[in-house]
Amino acid sequence: MLRILICDDNRDTVNEITGMLGEMYPERFEYIFAYGEEDFAGDAGINCDILIMDIDLVLSDGVNSSGIDIAGRLKRSNPGLKVIFASAFHEYAQDIFEVEPVYYLQKPVAREKLKAAVDKALDEIGKMQKARFSFTCGSQMITVNLADILYLESDKRLMRLMTTGSEYSFYSKIKDVEVKLDDRFVKTHQSFIVNMEHITRLANDTAFLDDGREIPVSQSRYKEVRTILTRFLGDSIL
C-alpha cells in the first residue's frame, strides 16, 4: 500500500483532501498527517511515496514556515518522493521548480485537479517501479529493479552487481551496462557505477552508501560526480 503524507496547517483542509482521496481511491493509500514543521522532527516523510504540501505553513507560535523548504529536505532524504504543492497564492508558483513537484494545486483544492495531480504522481511511481535491468548469470536470465541496485563494479569483463539483498556476477563491458541504466546512476570511477538514491555522503575520494559501504570516486571524475549528485540530491549530501 502506498503512503501519502498530507501537510497543511488547516486541519479542515487536511480532512477535506483525505476525504476526497478516500472516495476516489478506496483502500489505495495509507495516510500520514502533519500540520507544521514541528511534525517533521522524526522520520515523517522518509518512507512516504506522495507528499501533498501546503506552501505557506503557520506554526502554533504564529511563525510562518516554508513548505517548499520542508519538501526539499524530504526529497533529499527520499529522492523518489512525489511532491504535490498546494497554495492559495499564485506568487509561489515560480519558487517551487527546484523541488521538481509533479503538480501545483490552487486552493481551494478542486476534486478533479486533486485527482489529476495524484494520477500523475502514481504514473511516475509506476514508471520507476517498472524500471528494471536484466542480465545473464550462468544459465539464468536475472531481472532486478533499478531501485534495488546499490552499485555495479567492473573487473575487466566481469561485472559484480550488488543489490539491497543479493550479489550477482555476469560478463559484460561496463559501457554496455551503463547505457541500460537511467539517470539515477552515476559513474564514480572507471570500474564503478553507483545508484545515487543510496548515496548518503560524498567526501574527497569516497561515496558513502546507506548500507555502510564505501565506493571509490576517482580524482578525474570527482567534480563531475559532485555536480551530478548535487543536482540529484541537493547540497546536504556533500
| Span(s) in the chain for CATH 3.40.50.2300 | 2-129
| 3-class DSSP assignment, residue 143 | strand
What would the mean pLDDT of 25-45 be, rounded to a whole number? 78
Residues shown for the chain: 238
Q: What's 209's DSSP letter? A: E
Q: What is the CATH code for 132-237?
A: 2.40.50.1020
Q: What is the pLDDT of residue 100?
A: 83
Residue 42 has pLDDT above 70, yes or no: no
Q: What is the pLDDT of residue 154?
A: 96
Residue 184 has pLDDT above 70, yes or no: yes
pLDDT (tens digit per residue) in 92-128: 555 677 778 899 999 999 999 999 999 999 998 888 7
Residue 180 has pLDDT above 60, yes or no: yes
Q: Would you place residue 22 in the very low, low, confident or very high pLDDT band (cuts 50, 70, 90)? A: very high
Q: What is the pLDDT of residue 94?
A: 59
| Span(s) in the chain for CATH 2.40.50.1020 | 132-237
pLDDT (tens digit per residue) in 51-99: 999 988 765 555 566 788 888 888 877 778 899 999 887 665 556 777 7
The closest of 42, 46, 56, 49 to 7, measured between CA atoms, is: 56
Cell of 173: 563491458
CATH number of 2-129: 3.40.50.2300, 3.40.50.300, 3.10.129.10, 3.90.850.10?
3.40.50.2300
Spatial distance between the Cα atoms of 27 and 5, rounded to a whole number of angstroms: 15
What would the mean pLDDT of 213-227 be, rounded to a whole number? 94
Spatial distance between the Cα atoms of 134 and 9, rounded to a whole number of angstroms: 46
Spatial distance between the Cα atoms of 2 and 28, rounded to a whole number of angstroms: 7
Q: Would you place residue 43 in the very low, low, confident or very high pLDDT band (cuts 50, 70, 90)? A: low
What would the mean pLDDT of 192-203 be, rounded to a whole number? 93
Q: What is the pLDDT of residue 183?
A: 87
Q: What is the pLDDT of residue 156?
A: 86
For the whole model, what pTM was predicted?
Answer: 0.63
pLDDT (tens digit per residue) in 136-155: 888 888 889 898 999 999 99
Residue 236 has pLDDT above 60, yes or no: no
The closest of 56, 97, 106 to 75, measured between CA atoms, is: 97
